[in-house]
């Protein structure tokens, strides 16, 4: 190549590991990589995706992989992976109501997590009540006095309190002994 000739530089696609729990987020990351690498061809996108799918997830879309459409094969694969692997609304609500706890997250991380499970249609009042009941009692009592603040503002405040308080468990179990003196 002589001086002055344009050169073609190619950026490789760095595909993140597939996230079966959050396929929509994974596709958003993947499409960012496609944009960086200037990948616009439907077939190239399709083959990149099928090349990184673990066998159990490829099996979920085997019909699309083995008999791809002639056009829009990437969009079809994307929409089917998302719909077949994503939790249903009922499953997300069940997880939200029965299983979710604060764990090792801070209060605002926990709020964002339960918001993602609940979906955009869930009212903040419901989320506030659910979120509050899953926090340590000290935080619950502080939050109870913050009706005038938005939920996000309360979460930020809860983060600050959470930072300065020792790890207080969300529930306490008391044990009692009922031993009796020996009979003589």
Domain's final residue, options 63, 85, 107: 85
Alpha helices, H only, 61-164: 62-66, 73-85, 89-98, 107-118, 124-133, 137-143, 151-164
pLDDT band at 86, cuts 50/70/90?
confident
Q: Is residue 130 part of a domain?
A: yes
Question: What pLDDT sits at residue 20?
Answer: 86
- Which among 44, 65, 85 is the end of a domain? 85
User: Is 157 a domain residue?
Assistant: yes
Of 52, 70, 85, the domain-final residue: 85
For residues 100 and 127, membership in a common domain is answered with: yes
Quick one: pLDDT at residue 1?
52
Mean pLDDT across the chain: 83
CB burial of 152-161 (b: ≥16 within 10 Å; e: otherwise) equals eebbebbbee
Q: What is the pTM of this model?
A: 0.59
> What range does the domain containing 117 cover?
89-164
Whether residues 70 and 33 share a domain: the answer is yes
């Amino acid at each position: 190549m002589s001086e002055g000739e344009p050169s073609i530089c190619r950026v490789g696609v760095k595909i993140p590991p597939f996230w079966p729990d959050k396929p929509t987020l994974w596709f958003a990351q993947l499409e960012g990589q496609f944009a960086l690498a200037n990948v616009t061809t439907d077939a190239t996108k399709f083959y990149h995706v099928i090349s990184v799918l673990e066998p159990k997830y490829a099996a979920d879309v085997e019909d699309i992989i083995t008999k791809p459409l002639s056009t829009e094969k990437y969009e079809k694969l994307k929409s089917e992976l998302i719909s077949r692997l994503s939790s249903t609304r009922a499953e997300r609500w069940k997880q939200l109501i029965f299983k979710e706890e604060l764990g090792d997250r801070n209060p605002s991380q926990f709020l964002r997590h339960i918001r993602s499970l609940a979906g955009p249609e869930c009212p903040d009042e419901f989320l506030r009540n659910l979120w509050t009941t899953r926090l340590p009692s000290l935080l619950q009592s502080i939050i109870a006095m913050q009706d005038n603040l938005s939920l996000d503002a309360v979460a930020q405040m809860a983060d600050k309190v959470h930072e300065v308080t020792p790890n207080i468990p969300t529930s306490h179990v008391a044990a009692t002994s009922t031993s009796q003196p020996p009979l003589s």
